[in-house]
Structure 1
Amino acid sequence: MEYVIGIDLGTSAVKVLLVDKNGRVKGEWTEPYPLYQPRSGYSEQNPEDWIEKTIAALKNVLQTAKIDPHSVRGLSFSGQMHGLVLLNEKHEVLREAILWNDTRTTEECREIEERVGKEKLLSITQNRALEGFTLPKLLWVKKYEPHIYEQAHTFLLPKDYVRFRFTGHVAMEYSDAAGTLLLDIRNKVWSRQLCHALDIDIGLCPPLVESAAYVGTLLPEVAEQTGLPTTVKVFAGGADNACGAIGAGILSEGRTMCSIGTSGVILAYEQTGNKQFAGKVHYFNHANPNSYYIMGVTLAAGYSFEWFKRTFAPEDSFSEIVKRASESTIGANGLLFTPYLVGERTPYADANIRSSFIGIDASHTKWDFARAVIEGITFSLNESITIIKESGKQVKSVVSVGGGAKSQEWLQIQANIFDTPIEKLKNEQGPGMGAAMIAACGCGWFTSLEECASVFKQVEQIVEPREEETKLYRELFLVYRQIYSQTKEINEQLKKLRK
């Protein structure tokens, strides 16, 4: 049997999957690494930690799977988006990487919008200037660490840096480049117009390649450390959300994914780069060639559930909370929750908004509150579904992954609120599986990612919406959508009292 490897470079750990030609996971290994937060709002990592732990994960997955390393034909990468890794002329790291969840760059975001213009920025990148993106980080370094910026020869994103260290090949692929805020996503080139407006040398931007591009084989020292042969082919890979979409089969029009982790993501396939969303949702190049995806984000999706559990039901399991919550009524006996614990992203890019419980009375129990939290998270995700539908796109079905897919009750709530059939996968493996699928296609096992998905993706269950429950949720959603506008000013006034 032959194998490919998918490497998912996450924020807290690297996960390696060993996958055979039938899409079966024959081995997996996770290695954690530290996150550094030297000041409030800062989030950094040492790129050397990524290298060390990825090598360790590869070595361990081979040892535990007990396969012949020469049967591994190829590998590819998925990675956390937006992070800034600055390299000098010798390709040495100049400072610790600034990550996607770093929020120090609010001033730089305003500077980008003022110097470029909001409409011009949207016309080129299809995205607003937000703190998470790479460009504001680059401007921050230029402003506050000029001695570092002056030494910079190029920049890479996290997984592209690891791939460079494995192969010696410097490049960035389109799905991750789209998250820098420097890519003209329709023309698939670095934007000279943006670089000129912001006084950035376009020479800092690395060469661009397709996600499935063959970029070389493993360097001898990497092969020796991991136990893999130097004949293993390496392919560029994709951003974590793009690879997650590949693994879930979001590869054609009408296909949509709902992922509930710490944050929540609604991701829909898009064939063109021409739709206009005025920055309400993210719009990125897909890892599938010549296509795109639209993405809405709820910042505190699973985090809201975890907060509720920690605060009100620490002794109860996830499944017990959801089960007891399902005993409450639709609408939690007249109680609504907005999951704005840490601000919100879609459709309200508002760092100051905070959560609310609306409609509390003395009859409500802990489990009514639990149901309101679950419904509120799903209502927030439905805001992204609604934006996608209002653009004229179809949402034929939704593949649910992450925490929201672990409960039959929550799957049914998703189906009812989204008014769409929900697919639960038999073996959900996240972005690492998408990376493995890119490698499988690169090795010639399949002619396209769609063909690969027909083999690798297996649906365990389809949950259909229930008409009467969907009707009730449609009415509740209209009420839910009023809460943001009616609490925004109150939250602005309360901001000064927060710790």
Structure 2
Amino acid sequence: MGLFVGLDIGTTSAKVFLFERHGKIRGQGKAAYTLLVPEPGRAEQRPQEIMDAVALAFRRAMTSGGVRPEDIEAVGVSAAMHSLMAVDKDGMPLTPLLTWADNRSVTQLAELKRSGAASELYALTGTPAHPMSPLGKLLWWKENMPELFETAARFISIKEYLLYRCFGVYALDVSTAAATGLLDISGRGWSDEALELAGIGKERLGELVPVTEVLRGMKPEMAAAFGLSPGTKWVVGASDGALANIGSGAASPGSTAVTIDGGGAVRRFVTRPMTDPEGRMFCYPFSEDRWLIGGPTSSGGVALRWFNEQFMGGAQPGPSLRDAVRAHPERRQRRGRHHAAIDPGQPGFLSLDELIDLAMTVPPGAGGVLFLPYLSGERAPYWNPDARGVFAGAGLHHGRQHFVRAVLEGVLFAVNDVTETLSGLASPPERMLASGGFASSAAWTGLLSDITGLRIDVPGCFEASAFGAALLAMIATGALDSLDEADDRVGILRSHAPSDANRAVYEKLYPLFKDVYRRLEPVFPELVSMQGKV
């Protein structure tokens, strides 16, 4: 049958998709795991829980597709960037897995910026100085847990842990390594300067391999747990960001992709290293002829989920959802959605469709309410871990529908901020290819077109990172000739062009959005300090 698997190890769940060669999905499985926040600034996960979820997602995918182990040609692996854990000489975890959202190294990174070392490191590695990076996590361990830091055999990502458990090797693709803040921007090896600063040697990190590296000889017990044959080929793959570009049809240099799931990102491939003089954009090596440039935002769907959980669960003032939608039926935009749910499964919470329907009952601009979506700080283009969420312009006449729309628009204003910055570094895009959970909503992707002024194309497969991993597996095993050919395997489901009337509204509001941030930037550190005291 020759099916190719795309495994995507995300921030909150593992997803497995079985693809035919031309992109048709034959089976799929998903399994969630817990994000632990033991105290403000920390974001951790249990490595074994993730391993169990990956195995469960595989078994569910195989069952849903009625697929036998011998039907699988190869597995491609996508994983979230910036994770880090310490292991002993036998590969057993000594720490939880620290995710990209872990901000414990704020003090260490602030010192790097004060000393001027952050700018030098950015020029060497293409990674902005931010607590998300494994470099910052290493500095925190070095300062706060010196015994652990000295005795740990290796510091690895979740992908390396998975591959070590399955194959006995610490294989780390260049794409994922690029996001550590420790890899030379040429992509040819670890940066001696960054390693010296971190206080470790390269022997305590993963073994660098190309994104198309093929592993064989899966441990029988792991193959059984996953429902696979031990002889199944595994392709090490790349980071979830790079693979989202490939899986959304933006593998060719110059094509721009936008992904919004829990967070968001805007990225494109280029043919040479390209750093930002102001250090606002990342530049990650991918292969010998491609680098990935762009910027991530910290809040995407997580902001909508936060609002849903905190403010939509019980009786609320203002019109009921049903009454609000009935009053404005012309604003229901259901075409192109798969009714993805973001609610936590408790009575009273709304689905993504219902939230967006409610938002669409008020005109563009949310009645003059602006939302800064920086609930856990912000990454690009400000790289400010002290930034916080803000509703501005609220009045007694505003209802919950205005606030929901403000959240939707605020997330996209933040994405547009990255898009503008990227356009200043490279050429402005004519269109963007959308992927991630938000792409399931025609209304939300339409809003992105209105806010950016760009054509937004939505590929048929919203799970772009998983599809990108499968496409890379096809290339590595000879089923596909090149990355450029991968774009031809991506079909477009729908497209959006900006509305002139809506665009006029957002051209007035977007500068206000940025101005609110600039005015509050000096206040954020004081607020964060107070949050730790009261």
User: Which residue in 2 is equivalent to 1:93?
Assistant: 93
Quick check: 1:332 aligned with 2:331?
A: no
Counterparts of 2:56 and 2:352, CA distance in 1: 32
User: Which residue in 2 is equivalent to 1:129?
Assistant: 129
Q: Secondary structure at the match of 1:49?
A: helix
Q: 1:223 to 1:350 in 2, by over 3 A?
A: closer
Counterparts of 1:36 and 1:466, CA distance in 2: 42
Counterparts of 1:291 and 1:378, CA distance in 2: 27
**Match of residue 370, structure 1, among 395, 404, 413:** 404
Q: Secondary structure at the match of 2:367?
A: coil
Counterparts of 2:231 and 2:121, CA distance in 1: 43
Report the residue type matching 2:444 in the other structure: W
Q: 1:304 to 1:197 in 2, by over 3 A?
A: closer
User: Which residue in 2 is equivalent to 1:206?
Assistant: 206
User: Which residue in 2 is equivalent to 1:33?
Assistant: 33
1:189-243, CA deviations, whole angstroms, 9 ceiling, x for partnerless residues?
A: 1011222344322332332111111133322332343342222111111112122
Q: CA deviation at 1:443?
A: 1.8
Counterparts of 2:351 and 2:38, CA distance in 1: 34
Report the residue type matching 1:392 in the other structure: A
- Would you say the 8 A contact 2:138–2:198 is kept in 1? no
Quick check: 1:308 aligned with 2:342?
A: no
User: Which residue in 2 is equivalent to 1:6?
Assistant: 6
Q: Secondary structure at the match of 1:343?
A: coil
Q: 1:444 to 1:139 in 2, by over 3 A?
A: same
Q: CA deviation at 1:113?
A: 4.2
Counterparts of 1:101 and 1:419, CA distance in 2: 30
Give 1:70-89 correspondences, 5 Å limit. Answer: 70-89=70-89
- Would you say the 8 A contact 2:160–2:206 is kept in 1? no
Quick check: 1:235 aligned with 2:235?
A: yes
Counterparts of 1:35 and 1:321, CA distance in 2: 24
Q: CA deviation at 1:482?
A: 1.0
- Would you say the 8 A contact 1:83–1:99 is kept in 2? yes
User: Which residue in 2 is equivalent to 1:469?
Assistant: 502
Q: 1:61 to 1:364 in 2, by over 3 A?
A: closer
Q: 1:495 to 1:84 in 2, by over 3 A?
A: closer
- Would you say the 8 A contact 1:81–1:158 is kept in 2? no
User: Which residue in 2 is equivalent to 1:143?
Assistant: 143
Counterparts of 2:352 and 2:206, CA distance in 1: 44
- Would you say the 8 A contact 1:217–1:234 is kept in 2? no
**Match of residue 454, structure 2, among 420, 436, 447:** 420
- Would you say the 8 A contact 1:169–1:215 is kept in 2? no
- Would you say the 8 A contact 2:237–2:469 is kept in 1? yes
Q: CA deviation at 1:461?
A: 0.6
Q: CA deviation at 1:79?
A: 1.0
- Would you say the 8 A contact 1:7–1:17 is kept in 2? yes
Q: CA deviation at 1:73?
A: 1.4
Q: CA deviation at 1:373?
A: 2.4
Report the residue type matching 2:297 in the other structure: T
Q: CA deviation at 1:183?
A: 0.5
* Greater mean alpha carbon deviation, residues 2-11 or residues 341-350: 341-350
User: Which residue in 1 is equivalent to 2:289?
Assistant: 290
Q: Secondary structure at the match of 2:447?
A: helix
Q: CA deviation at 1:116?
A: 6.8
Give 1:99-118 correspondences, 5 Å limit. Answer: 99-113=99-113, 117-118=117-118
Q: 1:208 to 1:386 in 2, by over 3 A?
A: same
Counterparts of 2:205 and 2:526, CA distance in 1: 42
User: Which residue in 2 is equivalent to 1:119?
Assistant: 119
Counterparts of 2:37 and 2:218, CA distance in 1: 33
Percent identity, aligned pairs only, is 27
Report the residue type matching 1:16 in the other structure: V
Counterparts of 1:472 and 1:393, CA distance in 2: 25
Counterparts of 1:435 and 1:246, CA distance in 2: 8
Give 1:225-264 correspondences, 5 Å limit. Answer: 225-264=225-264
- Would you say the 8 A contact 1:89–1:151 is kept in 2? no
- Would you say the 8 A contact 2:263–2:298 is kept in 1? yes
Aligned positions, number:
497
Counterparts of 1:491 and 1:157, CA distance in 2: 31
In the alignment, structure 1 segments of 5+ residues that lack a partner are none
Counterparts of 1:323 and 1:156, CA distance in 2: 43
Q: Secondary structure at the match of 2:386?
A: coil
TM-score normalised over the length of structure 1: 0.91
User: Which residue in 2 is equivalent to 1:379?
Assistant: 413
Q: 1:139 to 1:425 in 2, by over 3 A?
A: same
1:102-126, CA deviations, whole angstroms, 9 ceiling, x for partnerless residues?
A: 2221233234446671221111012
Q: CA deviation at 1:312?
A: 4.4
- Would you say the 8 A contact 2:29–2:59 is kept in 1? no
Q: 1:50 to 1:268 in 2, by over 3 A?
A: same
1:399-430, CA deviations, whole angstroms, 9 ceiling, x for partnerless residues?
A: 22234323333222211111110112223123
User: Which residue in 1 is equivalent to 2:493?
Assistant: 460
- Would you say the 8 A contact 2:252–2:483 is kept in 1? no
Counterparts of 1:491 and 1:146, CA distance in 2: 31
Q: 1:173 to 1:487 in 2, by over 3 A?
A: same
Report the residue type matching 1:170 in the other structure: Y
In the alignment, structure 2 segments of 5+ residues that lack a partner are 314-347
Q: Secondary structure at the match of 1:236?
A: strand
- Would you say the 8 A contact 2:119–2:279 is kept in 1? no
Report the residue type matching 2:367 in the other structure: N
Report the residue type matching 1:345 in the other structure: R
Q: 1:471 to 1:78 in 2, by over 3 A?
A: same
Counterparts of 1:297 and 1:51, CA distance in 2: 26
User: Which residue in 1 is equivalent to 2:326?
Assistant: none
Counterparts of 2:404 and 2:12, CA distance in 1: 28
User: Which residue in 1 is equivalent to 2:336?
Assistant: none
Q: 1:56 to 1:490 in 2, by over 3 A?
A: closer
Quick check: 1:484 aligned with 2:517?
A: yes
1:148-186, CA deviations, whole angstroms, 9 ceiling, x for partnerless residues?
A: 333333332111221122122222111110111100122
Counterparts of 2:410 and 2:422, CA distance in 1: 19
Q: 1:392 to 1:235 in 2, by over 3 A?
A: closer
* Greater mean alpha carbon deviation, residues 22-31 or residues 259-268: 259-268
